[in-house]
Structure 1
Amino acid sequence: MKVEARAPTRVDLAGGTVDIWPLYLFHPGAQTVNFAIRRYATCEVTTRADRRIVLISQDQQVRETYESLMDLGLRASKLPLLRELVMFFEPRRGIKIKTASQVPAGAGLGGSSALNIALCGALARVTGKHYSRPQLLEIAKNAEAIVIRVPTGWQDYFPALYGGASAVHLDRDGVKREKLPLSFAEIEKRFVLCYTGLPHNSAINNWEVMKAHIDGDPRVRRNFGRISTIASQMREALLARDWHDVSGLLALDWENRKHNFKGISTPKIDRMIERTKKHGTRAAKVCGAGGGGCVVFLVEPGTKPAVEAELARLGGEVIPFSVSRAGLEVRSDGMGPFGEGR
């Protein structure tokens, strides 16, 4: 039996890091705003006739073989997320897992969470275990926390599971996704995505900021209060298609985020944002936890090619994208190809 799965990555526009428990409980009305993109994390799970577990990461160029599930549990792995999920789903026969991603490692596009969701979907299908999408989210979130050994946020799992544009509401009675009815064509022509070539470590950056918040740093707490307010206003501006307000809020989110942790921006990121303004950039921010990775630029209509050309001249890697309407997709032997994600 062979099962393939894919899940889209995402671009976050406002409210990031506030989605880590329990930070959002200190900021009533906290939410994050993002949209899924057709840049996928993929996995292929094939059953074997023996009991061996084979783990393969095409991106990391790592291949590991274990004689059995028990052997996997007794040994360390260079692919700890794969190991953790296989141990959880407990396949009754041997399997081979092969993973790949269409975004660079450390890009800040939620690639690890998308891969996590794709793996959960494929392993659930292979093992015959029936979980709802909210249950898959819980499994993925808890597995990631075990692997990185610090608390994880909520927002990256929703675009991977459901696709489209989302406002993730972080409330005392639970975390809920609101599907935002936005014009994806408008998003695709107004935003530019660029990889700076400097991977970031979201676990470290988020943990440092979270510790400062929990320790009562008044500056960090004020910034998070502002970031929560900005996210709420961003949702309203997007729904109203008020691109002037979207621009101002994107810039404001970035300014507040830079004050939380000194390593969130870099000279190269600052230079890219400043140099592209004369070509059509209205505002920009780093995706994810910052410190490198990708930057999303909001540009004037019709200026996207000029901004992309300037970013390439500055040493950036422009990432073409479109919005993914679909989230997690899983297919088994005999099923047709994946849809277009639109």
Structure 2
Amino acid sequence: MRDALSKIEGNHHGIVLTIDNKGAVNGLATDGDIRRRLLEGGSLDEPIASCANRTFVWETPATSRESLIKKLDHRIRFIPILDKDRRLVRVVSREHLPVQLEEAVYARSRSPVRISFGGGGSDLTHYFSEISGAVINTTVSLYTHATLRVRGDSKIIISSRDLGQSLEAEDLSTALSQEGCFGLLQAILKAISPDFGFELYLHSDFPMKSGLGGSAVVSSAVLGCFNQFRRDKWDMHELAELAYQAERLHLGVAGGWQDQYATVFGGFNFMEFRMDQNIVHPLRIHPDTLLELEESLLLCDTGTTHESGDIHEDQRREMQQDDVRILVRNNVELSYRMRNLLLRGRLLEFGHALDEAWQTKRRLSSKISNTRLDALYDGAIRNGALGGKLLGAGGGGFFLFYVPPFYKHQLMSHLEATGLKVQPFRFEKEGLRAWTVREGRNHIEMECK
């Protein structure tokens, strides 16, 4: 007990622990325990085990910080932390309860697709460089999902279920030089130049090249994950601009600006485009109007994909003609009218305006529609739709139709009989969402069999 008392006076815990011949802790003694034993007639030369408390309170490394704090707040001064073999890991007290060491984290994100109603073509830079453009769109409940984990080396691993392929490289420069189908992701990496190795996993709820702004959605989700590892996070405008930079400037795919802003900002928005700045106006539409509009819209897959870059390149050439620029200007005016109709809850007129938007859009380029797509649209009109439009640049992908309530079943049956797939959806009020998770809370390493 003499040695134990000396150790108690020299350490900051005020206790000593006793162990068995295997190193397992089997008792705890304080200076009070020693003095009590001495008052009972004991000697300082007795072993400390003679006064050690065998029923002391102890915890494991898995004990939550909350539980430790509660015990320390309830008359307990010291708590030994023991492993599964009851060997000492550390001792915690009111004065010595270390903050948990920083754990490795991974980032996750999801970004929604958009459906566009009017103003298409006016979000192209070569149009609004001379006269302002305006579009109206919203996001819906189909997403690209991304997961990003930082590595301790420079290696890069990218896995895409949408492409059905993976990319592996020893460093960033090697990843950027590889050939294959990862052009968009390589363009994003070129734009942001990450200085660490990582693993990136991607999958989407919708097919690529479907007219839903998928490339911008993928870009947004990826950028959202990388943004989680920045101290000075990009704001929403900067995220949209980076997504545009990657696809348009680095990858060289022609197109407009609305897709990037729509998926990052989310919800119903009226967007105006000018050379000095792009402005996103959130629309405050009555909840009942939104519910009724949601029930009145049908989204269906035509079963064919499109190359939006080719169509936008064709539009760029056609835009030199005065009659095409007049059509786009009419589309801009229509988007203002559609905005006002939604704000006033005049949905029947909005449905007819969708038809007007489609009739204008299909005249912008010969690549936007074809005989099959025209026949699909005409068949929908004959079976109850008031209007609709092919989403995105055109040429394939998804049709969006507006149908009054008592014709919806008829239109759905017709579309399915034609071989089209009706895609359920809900309006999505939020845009890009990104968050981080401690790896220890939701990750286990599994052996591959």
TM-score normalised by structure 1 residue count: 0.92
Q: Which residue of 2 aligns with 1:306?
A: 410
Partner of residue 124 from structure 1, selected from 218, 227, 231: 227
Any conservation in 1 of the 2:383–2:411 contact (CA below 8 Å)? yes
The partner residue of 1:204 within 306, 310, 317 is: 310
Q: Determine the C-alpha separation between the residues in 2 that align with 1:105 and 1:130.
A: 28
Post-superposition Cα deviations, 1:130-180, rounded to whole Å, max 9, x if no partner, equal 211111111111011134414431111222112110110123542101111
Q: Deviations over 1:286-305 (max 9, x none)?
A: 00111111110000124323
Alignment-derived partner of residue 102 in structure 1: 205
Checking the alignment, whether the CA contact within 8 Å between 2:318 and 2:365 is kept in structure 1 is no
Matches within 5 A, 1:42-53: 42-53=145-156
Picking from 279, 288, 299, the partner of 1:193 is 299
Greater relative CO, 1 or 2 (CA 8 Å, sep 6+): 1
Instruction: Give the C-alpha shift of residue 262 in structure 1.
Output: 1.4
Report the alpha carbon displacement of residue 113 of structure 1 after superposing the two structures with TM: 0.5
Aligned to 2:425: 321
Q: Which runs of 5+ in 2 are unaligned?
A: 1-104, 443-449
Aligned-residue Cα RMSD (Å) equals: 2.0
Q: Secondary structure at the match of 2:168?
A: strand
> 2-side partners of 1:127 and 1:27: how far apart?
37
Partner of residue 38, structure 1: 141
Larger radius of gyration: 2
Aligned counterpart for 1:143 among listed residues 246, 265, 277: 246
Q: Distance in 1 between matches of 2:245 and 2:192?
A: 13
Whole-angstrom distance in 2 between the partners of 1:287 and 1:270: 14
Letter in 2 for 1:236: N
Q: Which residue of 1 aligns with 2:61?
A: none
In the comparison of the two structures, how many residue pairs are matched? 334
Which residues of structure 1 form unaligned runs of 5+? 338-342
Q: TM-score, normalised by structure 2?
A: 0.71
Letter of the aligned partner of 1:205 in structure 2?
A: I
Write the letter of the residue equivalent to 2:324.
Answer: V
How far 1:268 sits from its partner (Å)?
Answer: 2.7
Q: Is 1:114 aligned to 2:217, yes or no?
A: yes
Does residue 69 in structure 1 map to residue 172 in structure 2? yes
Q: Do the aligned residues in 1 keep the contact of 2:126 with 2:316 (CA within 8 Å)?
A: no
Percent of residue pairs identical: 24
For 1:149 and 1:89, the matched residues in 2 are separated by 17
Tell me if structure 1 keeps the 8 A contact 2:156–2:171: yes
Equivalent residue of 1:156, what SS? Answer: helix
Alpha-carbon distance in 1 for matches of 2:414, 2:250: 39
Correspondence for 1:258: 362
Contact 1:266 1:292 in 2 (8 A): no
Tell me the CA shift for residue 34 of structure 1.
0.5
State the SS of the aligned residue for 1:126.
coil
Asked whether 1:3 is paired with 2:92, we answer: no
